[in-house]
């Protein structure tokens, strides 16, 4: 479980090119992969905050390529925001370089660190507290895709190859089931059967992409609502964060994945399944926000599958949680025994509810087109 000692953040911070004197650092405990901290500095009589992140290089095998992607995306976003008269210091992430001018630090212990400026006057929400935030965050993801459709230069690196290749995720699940390395399969038969019964869904988007029916685009690929910062004053989604998985993909990955949190009645790891569900009213706000930003560049092959993608990406995430449970919790951080299984169960409950409401979901999408 997640009980690592606090790293020496004063020493880490000293390697980065930020002004002032380090005061303190504390963990920001959200996220299942990287370790995130907030550090405070005193600079010219003011307190200035930064975000430090240790990149999980067992998950992101090529941290250099990952940071190259983020550098390209944030530089381009800066130009676009500036040209539109916005505030690039708040509307995109700003990488703080190391004193050697690099975008990340590799320590002598072989860990990878990066630093961003902290965005004041805005925050993220791990649970939906206000329907307006759902609309705002979804619109921010739509605008993010729209901006990145113009990103010049070469194809971005695939920071995790086949990240949303649902069929490959299904195959990895079947492999874990066959080998059952942690001896847990017999305890999760209903969940296993739930996944096995849905094998044919797993090819729909990846086959469309491979055949060229669905266009490849630059997408975010981790569109949980807590990856958009909501402005405290205006309630607008001002900045899309967590850019580790920005890479080639399908818009269906982004829209579909946003539903897992954006239309959920409970937390991703809620144990009381009676509380867990899919809320079509929230889905309506997600679809409206997303399409208000994206409707003019999407093609029918994409819009036809938006409702289905919600179910598919929720299923995919559930498959990943269940696979990790079967493998003995080797990928996602867990904070209690059975945590990945609890997460898989919430996803499957949402999938089952979406399956019953797919026509209504399609109608919601059509209305917002
Ligand atoms: C991971 O670490 P975090 O919370 O940003 C995962 C996502 C999952 C999510 C499930 C690189 O994201 O794909 O949807 O957990 N990121 C990676 O909550 O695997
Ligand atoms: Mg992430």
* Distances, alpha carbon 190 to alpha carbons 129, 175, 345, in Å: 32, 17, 10
Residue pair 300/215 in contact (Cβ under 8 Å)? The answer is: no
Distance from the CA of 260 to the center of ligand 2, in angstroms?
14
- What is the pTM (predicted TM-score) of this model? 0.96
Mean pLDDT rounded to a whole number for the chain: 97
Angle in degrees, 0-180, between the axes of helices 189-196 and 306-327, rounded to the nearest 10: 140
- Nearest residue (CA) to ligand 1, atom 1: 32
Q: Is 334 in the pocket of ligand 1 (CB under 6 A)?
A: no
pLDDT at 120: 95
pLDDT at 112: 98
Q: Is 32 in the pocket of ligand 1 (CB under 6 A)?
A: yes
Residue pair 88/78 in contact (Cβ under 8 Å)? The answer is: yes
Enumerate domains of the chain plus CATH numbers. 9-70+95-118 (3.30.200), 131-368 (3.90.1200.10)
pLDDT at 44: 92
Distance from the CA of 340 to the center of ligand 2, in angstroms?
16
- Identify which of 228, 220, 213, 237 has the alpha carbon closest to the alpha carbon of residue 303: 213
Based on the number of CB atoms within 10 Å of its own CB, is 78 exposed (0-12), middle (13-18) or buried (19 or more)?
middle
Instruction: Show the beta-strand stretches assigned E in the chain.
Output: 21-27, 35-43, 46-55, 105-106, 112-117, 122-123, 217-219, 228-231, 237-240, 247-249
Q: Is 222 in the pocket of ligand 1 (CB under 6 A)?
A: yes
pLDDT at 7: 77
Residue with tokens 């993010």: 144
Express each pLDDT in 128-176 by its tens digit.
999 999 999 999 999 999 999 999 999 999 999 999 999 999 999 999 9
Identify the segments of the chain with pLDDT beneath 70: 1-5
Q: Is 269 in the pocket of ligand 1 (CB under 6 A)?
A: no
């Amino acid at each position: 479980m997640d009980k690592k000692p606090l790293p020496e953040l004063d020493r880490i911070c000293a390697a980065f090119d930020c002004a002032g004197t380090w005061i303190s650092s504390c963990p920001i405990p959200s996220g299942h992969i990287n370790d995130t901290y907030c550090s405070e500095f005193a600079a010219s009589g003011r307190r200035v905050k930064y975000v430090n992140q240790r990149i999980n290089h067992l998950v992101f095998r090529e941290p250099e390529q990952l940071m190259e992607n983020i550098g390209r995306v944030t530089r381009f976003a800066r130009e676009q925001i500036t040209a539109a008269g916005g505030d690039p210091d708040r509307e995109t992430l700003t990488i703080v370089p190391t004193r050697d001018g690099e975008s990340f630090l590799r320590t002598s212990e072989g860990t990878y660190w990066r630093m961003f400026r902290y965005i004041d006057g805005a925050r993220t929400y791990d649970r939906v507290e206000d329907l307006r935030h759902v609309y705002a965050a979804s619109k921010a993801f739509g605008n993010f895709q729209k901006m990145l459709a113009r990103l010049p230069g070469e194809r971005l690196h695939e920071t995790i190859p086949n990240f949303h290749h649902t069929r490959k995720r299904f195959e990895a699940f079947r492999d874990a089931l066959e080998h059952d390395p942690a001896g847990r399969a017999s305890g999760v038969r209903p969940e296993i059967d739930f996944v096995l019964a849905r094998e044919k869904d797993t090819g729909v988007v990846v086959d469309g992409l491979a055949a060229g029916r669905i266009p490849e685009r630059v997408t975010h690929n981790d569109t949980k609502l807590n990856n958009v910062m909501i402005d405290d004053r205006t309630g607008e989604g001002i900045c899309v964060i967590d850019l580790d998985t920005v890479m080639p993909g399908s818009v269906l990955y982004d829209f579909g994945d946003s539903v897992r949190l954006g239309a959920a009645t409970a937390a991703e790891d809620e144990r009381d399944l009676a509380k867990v569900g899919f809320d079509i009213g929230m889905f309506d706000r997600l679809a409206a926000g997303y399409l208000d930003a994206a409707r003019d560049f999407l093609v029918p092959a994409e819009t036809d599958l938006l409702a289905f993608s919600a179910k598919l990406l929720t299923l995919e995430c559930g498959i990943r949680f269940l696979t990790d449970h079967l493998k003995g919790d080797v990928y996602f951080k867990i904070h209690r025994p059975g945590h990945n299984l609890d997460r898989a169960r919430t996803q499957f409950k949402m999938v089952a509810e979406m399956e019953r409401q797919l026509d209504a979901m399609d109608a919601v999408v059509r209305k917002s087109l």
